[in-house]
Chain A
Amino acid sequence: NAGVTQTPKFRILKIGQSMTLQCTQDMNHNYMYWYRQDPGMGLKLIYYSVGAGITDKGEVPNGYNVSRSTTEDFPLRLELAAPSQTSVYFCASSYSGGRGAFFGQGTRLTVV
């Protein structure tokens, strides 16, 4: 079982560049989440989705966009990268609300 797969694992972006962080899950989970983790700050929710075609903002959505065209995939788009977006990004999925979420291994992004 692959679980939740994130690509790439590492990336360096220049200020103003754009990129898409990929996330796919093979567990047929309805709920998917994107978090960022900064040192000492815990996990902050960026966007989440409760099913294909449905997305909603989390705690820190500014500078990001998402789409959910299939159950399996939940890409995170960064437009006009800024140094403040330097972080580790985690994608997670769960079968439904009230169930524990399963996380990918993360994407470490540096914006210079």
Chain B
Amino acid sequence: EDQVTQSPEALRLQEGESSSLNCSYTVSGLRGLFWYRQDPGKGPEFLFTLYSAGEEKEKERLKATLTKKESFLHITAPKPEDSATYLCAVQGMNRDDKIIFGKGTRLHILP
């Protein structure tokens, strides 16, 4: 059964203090690993898709990386507007095409 575990559950950083969020996954053949950002009261906003180990994607202060067992979302010199919940999800090669989400990491950037 596909599983996604995110850590930490919550993270408080000072503005400019870089850090990384972790997403560990178990899937029988990875079709895609997805990162989303969710603001309070809103739907998740798609950020990245990663397909194979070694792949990296960047967007502004965010960089996502992928290994065979985990993905990291690196946040460089964050600003208060980066505060949000970051969600990781996987889709396996199974016939069923389910996208399974982790519980997310709540990130709070202090000015």
A43 CA / B36 CA spacing, docked (Å)? 12
**Cβ of B49 < 8 Å from any Cβ of A?**
yes
Closest 4 CB pairs of A and B: A103-B43, A42-B103, A43-B101, A100-B46
Chain B residues, Cβ within 8 Å of A43: 44, 87, 89, 101
* Cross-chain contact B98 with A103 (CB below 8 angstroms): no
Interface residue range, chain B: 20 to 34
Given contacts A98-B49, A98-B51, A100-B34, are A31 and B97 in contact (CB under 8 A)? Answer: yes
**Cβ of B100 < 8 Å from any Cβ of A?**
yes
**Cβ of B78 < 8 Å from any Cβ of A?**
no
**Cβ of A75 < 8 Å from any Cβ of B?**
no
Q: For chain A, residues 24 to 46, give those with C-beta under 8 angstroms from any C-beta of chain B.
A: 31, 33, 35, 40-45
